[in-house]
């Protein structure tokens, strides 16, 4: 019953759009420019079998090659193979692709846009060799970022400096004037402030050290600018909460950086009502540079209102909301992931579920009944089993298999649970660079048996699951070519380990490509719009220096994106951040 209503609603809104589309198309086509990009090495996945409800099974995955791409306005008209004659180009804009490689825009099915943007708005002091070098980096950061209310950063470590001494407010004061500066030490257990920040905080010679904290002082007892442990709160309590304007700045910064990496769409894994507001304000200023498919964070106090408002798609289709994100457990590195048996490197410890079974089931059912796709973070095998049990019970009860529910990460799985993804139509949303970053740690945590079911994307594919790939930025670099490389080689950038880490789990280049294009689009209910370069689909594509399908797999992570296009417009503005 529920699915029926959902389908009808979808059908109705589509007919309305179609009607409007026909009406506005005649008006728009006079304006919409047709563009032909010729002389390219083009690749897209061959069209899935007509009428098939899900992407083609992995063994049917083939690459379609083409040498020219034609689009009008924001939609693909067609591609031309080497054998096909190019059209009469009078009236068209013709771009010479100069033999470069053209791919559909890549999609990251799991990242955190706001945190990534904020990380770009903070100065990174890791690896500095002296206090002077750290100060110089802050000066350059400020020159790049203009006027910020607070300059914030992290990563200094005085033990690595020539001085081997704490830095001081003095070295910052003459350079940053009234702008408060706050810089955390590499371990987060100390912070370095300038005098402007200390004045805002009302800190002076009379300020007492708080319990569990220390203010570093000179011989006369005056604070020198470094605050240890609980004393850090004296400063941080005065850093204003993020305004909507701050959020907009961070989101725009992040989206522009993602475009420079060759990403044309991202699934933002859990946003607040305020971040949704910031996205909508950005939209009012123009299309988002990269498409965002935002999952609503289940913990948000306004969740009920957001669910009641239903799905959202902006008229330019750059912002979509049709899912929610719930977190079932923590991460493996910090031993927060919930395991069925003890951690191999910590007997007696099995991690932690973040929600009671009632809470978890409650969130899932509420979202399903509101017609939302349910995306649950589960890393440990216990969390994954519990979430799959919930899906097995709730999907039939709510008749929502068509909503394509997901498990985010699906990192550690028992063998029998691997089969349940395809059975239940649940999508494992995985991040291939996690495998190559975590490999040594994961083996310590899990031991020799359980590791066989970890990062096991080959076993999932063979069991019929559709895998959406991503990076979980800023936990990992958002660079999708790092992800493609890790998926295909199971090696890091030093080609370690030789032959690949559990190389039997490797994806073929076609499968890896699908996981960052069509299958990621499918995981966002957007496979009719995105993921391949076919007539009527969005003109989202990238131009690359290297032909990743012709180069050695070990070289894929080095791919350089030259141009990124979304909705038929060039959006790439900058080289990616280092």
CB of 483 to Zn ion, least distance (A): 14
CA distances from residue 138 to 135, 172, 189, 334, 415 in whole angstroms, order as listed: 5, 9, 20, 31, 50
DSSP symbol at 354: S
Tokens representing residue 188 in the block: 């987060």
d(CA 2, CA 122): 46
CA distances from residue 472 to 110, 236, 266, 355 in whole angstroms, order as listed: 5, 27, 10, 21
Does the footprint of Zn ion cover residue 324 (CB under 5 A)? Answer: no
Contact 471, 480 (CB under 8 A): yes
Contact 519, 466 (CB under 8 A): yes
Nearer to Zn ion, 101 or 436 (CB): 436
Tokens representing residue 262 in the block: 């060759």
CB of 270 to Zn ion, least distance (A): 7
Tokens representing residue 539 in the block: 């003109």
Contact 96, 416 (CB under 8 A): no
CB of 366 to Zn ion, least distance (A): 21
Nearer to Zn ion, 101 or 293 (CB): 293
Nearer to Zn ion, 48 or 270 (CB): 270
CB of 155 to Zn ion, least distance (A): 22
CB of 408 to Zn ion, least distance (A): 7
Contact 527, 517 (CB under 8 A): no
Nearer to Zn ion, 151 or 269 (CB): 269
Nearer to Zn ion, 381 or 472 (CB): 472
Nearer to Zn ion, 269 or 394 (CB): 269
CB of 154 to Zn ion, least distance (A): 20
Nearer to Zn ion, 106 or 269 (CB): 269
Nearer to Zn ion, 104 or 524 (CB): 524
Give the dihedral sign, CA 344/349/351/356.
Answer: positive
Question: Which of the residues 467 through 526 are near Zn ion (CB under 5 A)?
Answer: 472
Nearer to Zn ion, 268 or 519 (CB): 268
CA dihedral 470, 472, 476, 477 (to 10 degrees): 60
d(CA 575, CA 368): 41
CB of 433 to Zn ion, least distance (A): 13
Contact 392, 401 (CB under 8 A): no
CB of 472 to Zn ion, least distance (A): 4
Question: Which of the residues 400 through 439 are near Zn ion (CB under 5 A)?
Answer: none
DSSP of 113-127: HHHHHHHHTSEE-TT
Residues 234-273, one symbol each (x = binds Zn ion by CB under 5 A, - = not), give -----------------------------------x----
**Number of residues near Zn ion (by CB under 5 A):** 2
d(CA 79, CA 96): 15
β-pairing, 312-313 with 106-111? unpaired
Nearer to Zn ion, 407 or 529 (CB): 407
Question: Which of the residues 438 through 477 are near Zn ion (CB under 5 A)?
Answer: 472
d(CA 54, CA 514): 13
CB of 82 to Zn ion, least distance (A): 42
CB of 110 to Zn ion, least distance (A): 6
d(CA 333, CA 336): 8
- Kindly list the residues in this chain that would bind Zn ion in the complex (CB under 5 A): 269, 472
């Amino acid at each position: 019953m529920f699915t029926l209503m959902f389908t009808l609603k979808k059908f109705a809104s589509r007919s309305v759009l179609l009607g409007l589309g026909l009406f506005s198309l005649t008006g728009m086509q006079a304006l919409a420019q047709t563009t032909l990009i010729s002389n390219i090495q083009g690749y897209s996945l061959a069209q899935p079998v007509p009428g098939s409800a899900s992407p083609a099974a992995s063994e049917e995955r083939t690459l379609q090659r083409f040498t020219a791409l034609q689009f009008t306005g924001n939609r693909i008209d067609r591609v031309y193979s080497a054998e096909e004659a190019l059209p009469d180009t009078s009236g068209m804009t013709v771009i010479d692709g100069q033999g470069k490689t053209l791919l559909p825009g890549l999609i990251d099915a799991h990242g955190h846009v706001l945190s990534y943007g904020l990380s770009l708005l903070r100065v990174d002091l890791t690896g500095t060799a002296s206090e002077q070098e750290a100060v110089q980096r802050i000066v350059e950061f400020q020159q790049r970022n203009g006027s910020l209310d607070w300059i914030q950063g992290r990563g200094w470590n005085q033990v690595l400096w020539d001085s081997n001494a704490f830095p001081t407010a003095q070295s910052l004061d003459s350079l940053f004037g009234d702008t408060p500066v706050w810089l955390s030490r590499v371990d987060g257990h100390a912070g370095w402030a300038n005098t402007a920040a200390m004045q805002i905080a009302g800190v002076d010679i009379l300020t007492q050290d708080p319990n569990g904290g220390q203010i570093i002082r000179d011989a006369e007892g005056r604070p020198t600018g470094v605050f240890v442990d609980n004393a850090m709160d004296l400063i941080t309590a005065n850093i204003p909460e993020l305004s909507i304007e701050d959020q907009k700045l961070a989101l725009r910064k992040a989206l522009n950086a993602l475009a420079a990496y060759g990403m044309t769409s991202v699934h933002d894994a859990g946003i607040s009502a305020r971040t949704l507001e910031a996205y909508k304000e950005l939209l009012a200023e123009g299309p988002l540079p990269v498409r965002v498919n935002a999952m609503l964070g289940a913990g948000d106090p306004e969740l009920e209102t957001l669910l009641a408002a239903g799905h959202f798609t902006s008229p330019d289709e750059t912002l979509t909301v049709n899912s929610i994100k719930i977190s079932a457990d923590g991460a493996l590195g910090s031993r927060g992931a919930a395991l069925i048996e003890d951690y191999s490197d910590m007997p007696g410890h099995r991690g932690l579920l973040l929600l009671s079974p009632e809470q978890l089931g409650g969130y899932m059912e509420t979202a399903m009944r509101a017609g939302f796709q349910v995306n649950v973070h589960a890393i440990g095998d216990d969390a994954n089993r519990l979430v799959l049990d919930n899906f097995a019970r709730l999907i039939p009860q709510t008749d929502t298999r068509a909503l394509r529910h997901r498990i985010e990460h699906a990192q550690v799985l028992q063998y029998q649970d691997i089969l349940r993804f395809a059975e239940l139509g649940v999508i494992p949303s995985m991040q291939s660079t996690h495998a190559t970053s975590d490999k040594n740690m994961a083996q310590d945590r899990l031991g020799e048996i359980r590791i066989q079911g970890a990062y096991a994307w080959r076993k999932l594919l063979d069991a019929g699951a559709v895998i959406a790939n991503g990076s979980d930025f800023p936990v990992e670099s958002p660079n999708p070519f790092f992800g493609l490389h890790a998926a295909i080689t199971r090696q890091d950038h030093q080609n370690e380990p030789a032959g690949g880490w559990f190389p039997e789990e490797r994806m073929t280049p076609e499968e890896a490509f699908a996981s960052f294009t069509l299958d990621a689009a499918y995981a966002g209910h957007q496979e009719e719009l995105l993921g391949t370069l076919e007539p009527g689909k969005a003109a989202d594509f990238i131009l690359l220096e290297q032909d990743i399908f012709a180069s050695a797999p070990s070289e894929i992570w080095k791919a350089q994106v030259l141009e990124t296009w979304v909705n038929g417009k060039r959006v790439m503005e900058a080289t990616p951040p280092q």
